[in-house]
Amino acid sequence: MIESIEAQRTTLFGALFQGYDGPAFAIRLWDGWHWYSSGDEKPVCTIVLRHSTIFASFIAEPNEITLGEAFIQDDIDIEGDIFSAFSIAEHILNRPRSRRQQILEKIAGTFFGLNQWFRHGARHSRRRDRSSISHHYDQPVEFYAPWLGDSLAYSCAYFRDGNDPLDDAQEQKLELICQKLRLQPREQFLDIGCGWGSLILHAASKHRVFAQGITISREQAEVAKLRIERARLNQSCAVELQDYRELEKIDKLFDKVASVGMFEHVGLKNLPQYFKIVQRILKPGGVFLNHGIARSYSSPTRKNSFINRYVFPDGELVPLCEALEAAESQGLEVRDVENLREHYELTLRRWVEGLRQNADTVLRHVPEVAYRVWLLYMAGSAAAFRRGDIGVYQVLLSRPDRGASYLPLTREDWYSSSSCPQKVEV
């Protein structure tokens, strides 16, 4: 007896998600038919498949890129809790291919026509033919501002409490960096990869240092200079359009140096040069705070990933131990390491919420595909931080002066102006 279409679909999805133990969810097909992972629990999200051909990405040959591309082209959508969708994707991607193939052989011929999709769909799909989305930082600041908030800080915030407003948490992050560096009035401070100038503005206005930032983004540099003018900090704050490698040519030395969210673009083979340059431009006894993402040692490197193709094409995450080895090999001493992994998950959740709430505004400045790329990559990154696949580390390094670090014996002064951070519940 030939099964009905509904029965075939039920069999297919039941087999595909056999052993799934994540949050309850639903799948809705292009014709309105629903499948539920659990009959007892309310779905936290619904995966919407808008076209019959999307099964080629969802079932036949799923990988991070095909699923991601289907989302940014609106062939797949997620209604409800977007963060929970990543446990569903993880189940699909980790399911043995041999088992998926058995499912296809059992059902594909009578209804879905997956053999044809398998032969032709991927190769002729628009997802295979379209060009890459514009580089990450080419987007206008009007795209970022609605969801980054007043600080325009595009890096992990610092939450004393999980309910802190995003602007407060970003202000706390900027102040924590300054406290760890122990900035003093009239010191020379450099921010490598300064973005739109958030840290140098904070350091110059709150700690009265001479703050200089460098960036290779022309648009970020122009926005940062405008912010400096508006804050009337031209005498103590400046931004240059400059690659960090050009610092090898300068004679100026700095008391303190920071790099926030730039280290991920350096690459493993260039890390010794990166730390060598910082060591050379630091005064003896100076300190350097490097704030960046690192992958866990057990997490594999995936070059053919959605983020590498569409978000950070030149990004490279290395294990923390390899970064520390590169730093120490260039004469820098490790003084402190702090993992803010939970803080970054909270930050990304706020960004996703802000992006969704301000969709109409940001879509005036970028196409919908760019909006969906950011939505997917930030929600997926939050899931990766939650799993512990990646962490974000603030590493304090010093250039000893004939063995002297000139640092206090304790860290008490870091929190002298505020209470110590409480445990963050996500």
Q: Are residues 205 and 114 in the same domain?
A: no
The pLDDT score that the predictor gives to residue 3 is 60
**CATH code (residue 327):** 3.40.50.150
CATH number of the CATH domain containing 25: 3.30.1050
How high does pLDDT run on average in the chain? Answer: 84
**Other Cβ atoms closer than 10 A to 128:** 12
CA atoms of 114 and 8, how far apart (whole Å):
13
Going through 296-389 in order, the beta strands assigned E by DSSP cover 333-339
All residues at 6 or more sequence positions from 133 whose CB lies less than 8 Å from its CB, including other chains:
72, 310, 369, 370, 373
Task: Using CB atoms within 10 Å of the CB of residue 272, give its burial: 0 to 12 exposed, 13 to 18 middle, 19+ buried.
Answer: middle
Dump pLDDT digits (tens) for 58-102.
666 677 887 888 888 888 899 999 998 888 888 888 776 555 455
Q: Does residue 65 sit in the same domain as residue 115? A: yes
**Do 14 and 48 sit in the same domain of this protein?**
yes
The answer to pTM > 0.85 is: no
Is 422 part of any domain?
no
Same domain, 123 and 247: no
Note whether 158 and 420 are within 8 A (CB): no
Q: Which of 83, 98, 129 is the last residue of a domain?
A: 129
Are 187 and 62 members of one domain? no
What pLDDT is stored for residue 189 in this prediction? 98
What is the predicted pLDDT for the residue at 415?
84
> How many Cβ atoms are within 10 Å of 81's Cβ, its own excluded?
14
Domain assignment present for residue 421? The answer is: no
End-to-end CA distance of the chain: 51
Tell me the CB-side half-sphere exposure of residue 350, using CA atoms within 13 A. 28
142-146: list long-range contacts, CB under 8 Å, 24+ apart: 142/362, 142/364, 142/365, 143/362, 143/365, 143/366, 143/370, 146/354, 146/355, 146/358, 146/361, 146/362
| CA atoms of 416 and 369, how far apart (whole Å) | 46
Indicate the residue among 129, 146, 162 that finishes a domain: 129
Q: How far apart are CA 282 and CA 69, in angstroms?
A: 44
Range name among 51-65, 193-207, 246-260 with the lowest pLDDT average: 51-65
The answer to whether residues 246 and 392 belong to one domain is yes
Task: Note whether residue 426 is domain-resident.
Answer: no
Q: Is 80 helix (H, G, I), strand (E, B) or coil?
A: strand
C-alpha–C-alpha distance, residues 264 and 319, integer Å: 11
Judgement on whether residues 115 and 243 belong to the same structural domain of the protein: no
pLDDT bracket for residue 55 (50, 70, 90): low
Residue 76 and residue 223 in one domain: no
| Least trusted range by pLDDT, from 158-162, 168-172, 191-195, 267-271 | 267-271
pLDDT in tens, 282-305: 999 999 999 999 999 887 666 667
Cα 315 from Cα 309, distance rounded (Å): 10
My answer on whether 49 and 74 are in the same domain is yes
Q: Print burial letters for 403-420: b (CB count within 10 Å at least 16), e (below 16).
A: eeeebeeeeeebeeeeee
Report if residue 424 sits inside a domain. Answer: no
Contact 220, 193 (CB under 8 A): no
246 in helix, strand or coil? Answer: helix
Q: Please give the residue that has the higher pLDDT: either 88 or 353.
A: 353
Q: Tell me the average pLDDT across 41-68.
A: 79
Number of H helices and number of E strands within the chain? 18, 11
**According to the model, what pLDDT value does residue 315 have?**
74
Instruction: Answer with the one of 111, 129, 147 that is the final residue of a domain.
Output: 129
354 pLDDT more than 60:
yes
Q: How far apart are CA 76 and CA 68, in angstroms?
A: 9
* 107 to 16, 34, 95, 97, 203: CA distances (angstroms): 12, 18, 18, 16, 63
Which stretches within 111-151 are classed as H helix?
114-116, 122-124, 126-129, 141-148
**Within 13 A of 267's CA, how many CA atoms are on the CB side?**
8
Domain holding 237, by residue range, is 136-415
> For residue 252, is pLDDT > 90?
yes
The angle at the Cα of 92, spanning 305 to 90, to the nearest 5 degrees, equals: 60
The answer to whether residue 180 sits within a structural domain is: yes
The candidate with the shortest Cα–Cα distance to 402, out of 288, 287, 284, 286, is 284
Is the domain of 109 the same as that of 148? no
Stretch 339-363: mean pLDDT = 97
Q: Are residues 77 and 141 in the same domain?
A: no
Residues 46, 172, single domain; the answer is: no
Whether 420 is in a domain gets the answer no
The per-residue pLDDT for range 261-280, each reduced to its tens digit, is: 999 888 888 999 999 999 99
Confidence of residue 319 (pLDDT cuts 50, 70, 90): very high
Q: Quick: pLDDT tens for 4-39.
A: 778 878 888 888 888 888 899 999 998 899 999 887
Number of separate domains in the chain: 2
pLDDT, position 284: 97
Residue range 352-379: mean pLDDT, rounded: 93
**Burial class, 58, CB count within 10 angstroms (exposed 0-12 / middle 13-18 / buried 19+):** buried
The two beta strands, 333-339 and 254-260, are unpaired
Assigned domain for 397 exists: yes
Res 128 pLDDT > 50: no
